[in-house]
């Protein structure tokens, strides 16, 4: 059938295949497809859990083509590659060390000898490279793959490495690299310092679950977006990035947190608590999403200013209940007077109800600029919940849109009563209703009831 289609159309079809194992099958099936497939400019090959299990079974191990062999053949038959992604499926993360009896390296994808065999052939035009290793095989084998990549991939713009123990010895500066992702990587502080030095032009940096760091510091002058999920509890954590616009930072309990990011506009911070916080004033912060078990301490420590227009707040679970008791809606109203959009997570709303029952909102002036609010309700006492909602509406006179998500386990009669009271008592408000449950996506039921 391929013989009757023009070559450019066949190439376009093959280029749209997201799984390069399909391309490998096409090359075997037809000489025409084999020839045209050599012009495909990307390889995306993933070892699935089913393939892995078949390769380990007594009846399948001799019939399953080794994963590295398939990849190598694809590379050998390609004329010009701009993008390569090779890895193992996330489902293989469930393979326990106890289930792994030998010292195989058939899925050790950052193995320097394996990468040496194919990378120099395709490095000239390569713009994107992603290697997601098999942690069971890679975590105890230190690899110098970064040095190899930096020595030959001079046009590389984006690099992703996952599930590996990386060495930074011999890494050369990569001045064209603008995006770097390191996920579930073993590094040390001096290794991260080397990353700062060798990738000076990064604009996008993602560090997820990078272990082994005690006093990590990011110092990048051109960085614009950063995702940093710190899995351990470092002594100190620093980000110096004068051009950073978007930051998502998730950490546990650093003793010292230093942020020098004056141009930050979008900030997501998940932090249990920090003994010492040093932050230069944010000049352009517009959107803030804050999760903490010591909320009042955090907002007191951060010079957040009056620039924030969109605010989302929730409380983390804490083994120290006294750290969250001080949270109340009045603190938000006082610290963020110019917020236009406010979202309260379920634990935040629960604490709002607790504080309201003790102190009310009588002494608070309200967010005069607030036009929309979203809250995740539990409804332990419907009268208390209604009182808070109506009090907020009285205080925030510019509110025009209220979105309320009710916990899925709440009795339907109580939910219906709440909906009826709100819509009848405040018919001019645009109401939206939905349901929430932890671990699932919010479900919206209606608009403008």
Of residues 370 and 33, the one with the higher pLDDT is 370
Span 178-188, average pLDDT: 92
Instruction: Grade residue 335 by pLDDT with cuts at 50, 70 and 90.
Output: confident
Give the pLDDT confidence score for residue 172 in this predicted structure: 94
Angle between helix 382-395 and 412-425 (nearest 10): 30
To the nearest whole number, what is the mean pLDDT of the chain? 83
Give the pLDDT confidence score for residue 65 in this predicted structure: 84
Residue by residue, DSSP assigns 421-445 as HHHHH-TTSEEEEEEE-TTS--EEE
The model's pTM:
0.86
Of residues 294 and 31, the one with the higher pLDDT is 294
Of residues 391 and 320, the one with the higher pLDDT is 391
Instruction: Grade residue 448 by pLDDT with cuts at 50, 70 and 90.
Output: very low
Of residues 290 and 40, the one with the higher pLDDT is 290
φ and ψ at 437, to 5 degrees? -155, 135
Instruction: Grade residue 449 by pLDDT with cuts at 50, 70 and 90.
Output: very low
User: For the CA atoms of the chain, what is the radius of gyration?
Assistant: 27
Distance of alpha carbon 110 from alpha carbon 263, whole angstroms: 37
Q: Could you read off the pLDDT of 263-315 as tens digits, one per residue?
A: 999 999 998 776 777 887 788 899 999 888 777 677 776 666 678 899 999 98
Spatial neighbors of 269 by CB under 8 A, at least 6 apart, are: 247, 249, 250, 288, 289, 290, 291, 292, 298
DSSP for residue 30: -
Please measure the distance between the N-terminal and C-terminal CA atoms of the chain and give it in whole angstroms: 56
Give the pLDDT confidence score for residue 200 in this predicted structure: 93
> Containing H/E element for 335?
helix 329-335
> Containing H/E element for 206?
strand 204-208
Give the pLDDT confidence score for residue 132 in this predicted structure: 95
3 state DSSP class of 348: helix
Q: Could you read off the pLDDT of 398-434 as tens digits, one per residue?
A: 999 999 999 999 999 999 999 999 999 999 999 999 9
Residue 248 burial class via C-beta count within 10 angstroms: exposed 0-12, middle 13-18, buried 19 and up: middle
Give the pLDDT confidence score for residue 324 in this predicted structure: 47
Residue 243 burial class via C-beta count within 10 angstroms: exposed 0-12, middle 13-18, buried 19 and up: middle
């Amino acid at each position: 059938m391929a013989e009757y289609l023009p070559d450019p159309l066949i190439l376009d079809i093959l280029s749209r295949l997201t799984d390069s194992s399909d391309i490998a099958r096409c090359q075997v099936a037809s000489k025409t497809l084999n020839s045209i497939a050599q012009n495909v400019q990307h390889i995306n090959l993933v070892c699935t859990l089913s393939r892995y299990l078949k390769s380990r079974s007594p009846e399948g191990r001799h019939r399953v083509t080794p994963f590295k062999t398939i990849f190598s053949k694809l590379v050998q038959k390609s004329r010009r590659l701009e993008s390569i992604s090779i890895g193992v499926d996330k489902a293989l993360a469930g393979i326990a060390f106890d289930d792994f009896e030998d010292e195989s390296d058939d899925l050790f994808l950052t193995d320097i000898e394996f990468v040496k065999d194919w990378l120099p052939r395709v490095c000239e035009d390569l713009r994107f490279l992603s290697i997601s290793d098999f942690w069971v095989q890679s975590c105890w084998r230190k690899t110098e793959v970064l040095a190899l990549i930096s020595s030959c991939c001079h046009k590389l713009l984006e690099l992703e490495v996952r599930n590996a123990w990386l060495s930074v010895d011999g890494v050369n500066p990569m001045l064209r690299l603008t995006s770097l992702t390191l996920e579930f990587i073993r590094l040390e502080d001096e290794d991260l310092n080397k990353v700062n030095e060798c990738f000076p032009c990064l604009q996008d940096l993602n560090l997820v679950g990078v272990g082994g760091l005690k006093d990590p510091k990011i110092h990048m002058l051109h960085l614009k977006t950063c995702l940093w999920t710190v899995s351990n509890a470092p002594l100190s954590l620093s980000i110096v990035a004068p051009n950073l616009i978007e930051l998502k930072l998730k950490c546990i309990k650093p003793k010292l947190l230093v942020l020098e990011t004056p141009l930050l506009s979008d900030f997501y911070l998940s932090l249990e608590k920090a003994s010492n916080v040093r932050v230069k004033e944010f000049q352009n912060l517009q959107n803030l999403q804050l999760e903490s078990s010591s909320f009042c301490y955090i907002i007191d420590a951060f010079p957040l200013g009056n620039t924030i227009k969109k605010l989302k707040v929730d409380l983390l679970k804490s083994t120290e209940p006294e750290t969250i008791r001080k949270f109340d809606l009045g603190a938000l109203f006082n610290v963020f007077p110019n917020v236009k959009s406010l979202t309260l997570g379920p634990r935040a709303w629960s604490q709002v109800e607790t504080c309201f029952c003790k102190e009310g909102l009588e002494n608070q002036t309200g967010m005069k600029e607030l036009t929309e609010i979203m809250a995740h309700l539990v409804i332990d006492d419907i009268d208390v919940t209604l009182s808070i909602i109506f009090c907020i509406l009285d205080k925030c006179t510019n509110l025009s849109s209220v979105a309320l998500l009710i916990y899925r386990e709440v009795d339907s009669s109580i939910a219906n009563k709440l909906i009826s009271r709100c819509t009848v008592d405040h018919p001019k408000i645009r109401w939206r209703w939905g349901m929430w449950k932890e671990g699932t996506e919010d479900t919206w039921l209606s608009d403008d009831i």
